[in-house]
Every structure is written in structure tokens, then in C-alpha cells.
Chain A
Amino acid sequence: MRGFGGLESVIMHMVWDHDGPVTVRELFDELRQERAIAYTTVMSTMDNLHRKGWLDRAKAGKAYRYTAVASREEYSARLMQEALAGGGDTEAVLSHFVAHMDGAESEVLRSVVRRLAGGRPA
């Protein structure tokens, strides 16, 4: 099974898949159908996610009800923005399969594709 970091991801995706707020108990009940897991593991993982700023929580009776701070799409968009920002420090460490291209360069690629599609030899 994946490590602890993997569990954070699994739980975030479960929270995103839920419409409203969820409790540790609800997620634990879902999770234990597919894997052997302890209630306290789920609880501490959600606590971690709260500490790291991924989950909001509000007291409801004895338990906390958790909601995602931002939607999956918002996080993805933010990461993409970071990854695609050319010229920054991020560029130094993220090796893109296709680097950021200027207009002329992407036009050249498009023309290659057109030629390919036309089946015309170069």
C-alpha cells in the first residue's frame, strides 16, 4: 500500500468527491472497505491536512466536520500556473517535456503537424 503521503492524497480526493462537509468517521467507514486502516490514522492524516492548509474544519457536536479549503480544480490550476510560469526558479527544476514556446516556435510545430496530416513529404 502507498505510504502516508499517499493517504493524504486519497483522503483529499475523497473530501473533494463528497458534496458537503465530512467527518473522520465517515471517511474511515469508506476507507476500511478497501484497505486495513486504523481510525486514528485517518484522524491524524486529516489533522495534518488541516494543519497544512488543505482542509477547513468546524466543530459539530463532539466531532469536527471537514471541508476542502479549495476545490481540486483550483489546486490543479494553481499548480499548473506555477509549473508553466517560464523564466522563474521553478523553471530551473521542473523539466518540462515540451518547454514554453514563443509564437513563432509553436507555429512551426503546427505547420509540421499540418504537413503530417496532409501526408505530403517534406
Chain B
Amino acid sequence: MTAALVVLGYALALAWLVPAPLARLTAAGIGARPGLAAWLTAMASALACAAVALRLLAGAAVAGWPRLAEAVCRSVAGRACAPVVYRSAFFEVPLAVAAVLALLTAAVLAWRYGRSVQRAQRRARAHARAARIAARPLPGAGTALVLDAPQAAAYCVPGRPAAIVLTSGALAVLDAAQLTAVLAHERAHLAGRHHLLISLTRGLAAALPGVPLFTRGPAAVARLAEMCADDVAVRQAGRGTLLAALLAMGTGAAVPATALAVTAGPVTARVHRLLDPPRRARQARYRAALVAVTLLLAGASALVIAFAVPLAAHALAA
């Protein structure tokens, strides 16, 4: 019982205490990939520990029930309480009710998660189908499509086949090099399967509303995924080019390809790290810190589970 409560406490601590410092550590996107790993590890650890804790608690409850029933029975009926009474079906009913409630809760959580993920997928598929008909292929750019629309927009739609959609408004404000940067960024999303991370974390947020780690997770993961894609685009097209593309698309006006300096939204954070990339030493420090956080989270969770499970088994056997 104690072991189970310790694991549960640890899972709750992860879910409530980790998001704020982790958000601060990953806000600037220095080390976007290790930052992404840290968030996903925190979420996976919290889920795994909560699952183990609930399993242990259920085990302890089932094992301890007859004794609890006996104690309650004796405190009410005194000596008149015979084993026949407290071992009767009457005492098993609450246990069955608890089990049914637990199953129902699990079903509701799973349904919420599934609905969130499925809706998003269905929308994406319908959108991609319509875009493939209404848009024209961008010459020489593989899966890229051009939609006749004045707004400057570029996005990718996952699926098989995936599509990258650009508007004619976007083509009007991007030069050839900037277009390469935008395409590289979107291809990095598709190659990195970022939509899976985003729909997974959004599904968890839908299933577990009110839990900070999961409510803050999707935005943090989306932001870091953008930055990971930016890093790929920088390697292919150069920092200045990507920055100019970002500013042109963000303001809907062409921007000359020169580099410069700025500031708290996800887009400005990206602009900021492109304008003012951190020095190597600072980058290395952040990366090391994030890798350490990830390993610490994974290691601590594994240890907590590894110690608690045999302890709980031992308590049950005693």
C-alpha cells in the first residue's frame, strides 16, 4: 500500500511540478531535439508510474478487502460478526462496484483520446483530398501543391500520400531560396512524423484535462517540433534565408534576405533563435542539461517502479 502511494505521489509530482521548469528550460528552443525528448519522457514517465501505482493500489485493495470488511463489521456488530457475514457477497459488492467504476473511467479516457486523434485524422484526410483536386502541383517540387489564395500560407498535411500546400500568396512573397527553406521545413515535419507527436500529446490532453503536464504538453511539443524543422531548414537553406522566409510569411510582405536581432509567442521565439543563435558553449550547456533531465526522469521513474513493485508484492505476501 505504502509502495503504491509512493509511486502515485511520484507520478503526481511529475505531472504537477515538472511542466513549469521544463517549459522555462525549453522556451528558447536551445537544443530543440533534446527538449522534445525531455517533454515526451516526462509524459511517458508520469503515465507509466500512474499506471503502475493504480495497478498496485488495486492489488492492495483487493487483497486487503476481507480484513477491512472484517474490521468494519466487528466495529459495528462486535462479537456477533461472524465470518459468514463479512465474507458474504454483501461485502464483495462494493469491490465489484469499484472495479466497474475503474473500468468505466478507463473507457472514458480511452474514448476521449481516440476521439481527439480520430477527428484530427479524418479532417486531415478530407483536407488533403480536396487540396489535391483544387490545387495545382508546384513544378519540380514533388508533393508540393499551390492553392490560389491571396493569404500567404504554407503547411503540410500528413497522410499517405502526404502533401505540402502553399498558397499563391505565399509564392508571391518568397524568393526561390526562401521557398526552398519553407519546403525543407515542411518536409522535415513530414519526415520527422511530428504530426504523430502532436496528435498523441493532444489526445492525452483531451483525455486528462486539468493535469498540467498534459495540458501544457501539446503547445510545448508543437513549438519544439517547429524548431526542429527550422534546424533542418537552416542546414539546407541557411539561417538568413529561413529567417527572411519566416518574416515574409509572418507579415505577408517580401523580406530581403539579411540577418538581424528581436522577442514570447511561438513564432517570435523561432525568429529570435534564428536572429540570435546562442553561442556554442551555451548551446552545449542547454543540450547537456536537457539530456540530463531526460535521463534523470527516465531513470528515476524506472527506479521508483523497480523498487515499489517487489515491495508491494512483499507486503501482499506478508
Contacts and interface: CB of A to CB of B under 8 A. Distances in A.
Contact of A79 (B121, B127, B249, B260): B127
Interface of B: 116, 119-121, 123-124, 127, 130-137, 147-149, 151, 153-158, 165, 167, 170, 182, 185-186, 189, 194-195, 198-199, 202, 222, 225-226, 229, 245-247, 249-251, 253, 255-256, 258, 260-268, 271, 275
Interface string A20-49: 000000000000000000000000000001
A118 B151 CA distance: 25
Nearest to B230: A97
Contacts, number: 162
Contacts of A117: 256
Interface string A81-122: 011100011101111111101101110111111011100011
Contacts of A78: 130
B195 A113 contact: no
A96 B265 CA distance: 14
Main secondary structure of the interface of A (DSSP, over half): helix
A80 interface: yes
Q: Which of A78, A83, A97, A117: most chain B Cβ within 10 A?
A: A97
A40 to B, nearest CB: 20
A72 interface: yes
Given A93-B158, A108-B268, A98 B249 contact: yes
A2 B150 CA distance: 27
A121 B262 CA distance: 11
Contacts of B134: 9, 12, 72, 75-76, 79
A12 B132 CA distance: 11
A12 B148 CA distance: 14
B124 A94 contact: yes
15 contacts: A2-B137, A8-B133, A76-B147, A79-B134, A90-B120, A93-B158, A94-B124, A95-B195, A96-B153, A97-B245, A99-B222, A99-B267, A106-B251, A109-B268, A116-B247
Contacts of A92: 116, 120, 195, 198-199, 202
Contact of B157 (A5, A73, A93, A101): A93
A113 B259 CA distance: 10
A110 to B, nearest CB: 5
A8 B130 CA distance: 10
Contacts of A84: 151, 153
A110 B199 contact: no
Given A9-B132, A83-B165, A113-B251, A101 B267 contact: yes
Nearest to B170: A97
A95 B261 CA distance: 26
A110 B262 CA distance: 11
Given A93-B124, A105-B265, A98 B246 contact: yes
B161 to A, nearest CB: 9
Given A12-B134, A97-B155, A97-B185, 18 more contacts: A6-B132, A76-B135, A79-B149, A80-B151, A83-B165, A84-B153, A90-B124, A95-B186, A95-B194, A95-B225, A97-B182, A97-B246, A98-B250, A101-B267, A105-B264, A116-B247, A116-B260, A121-B260
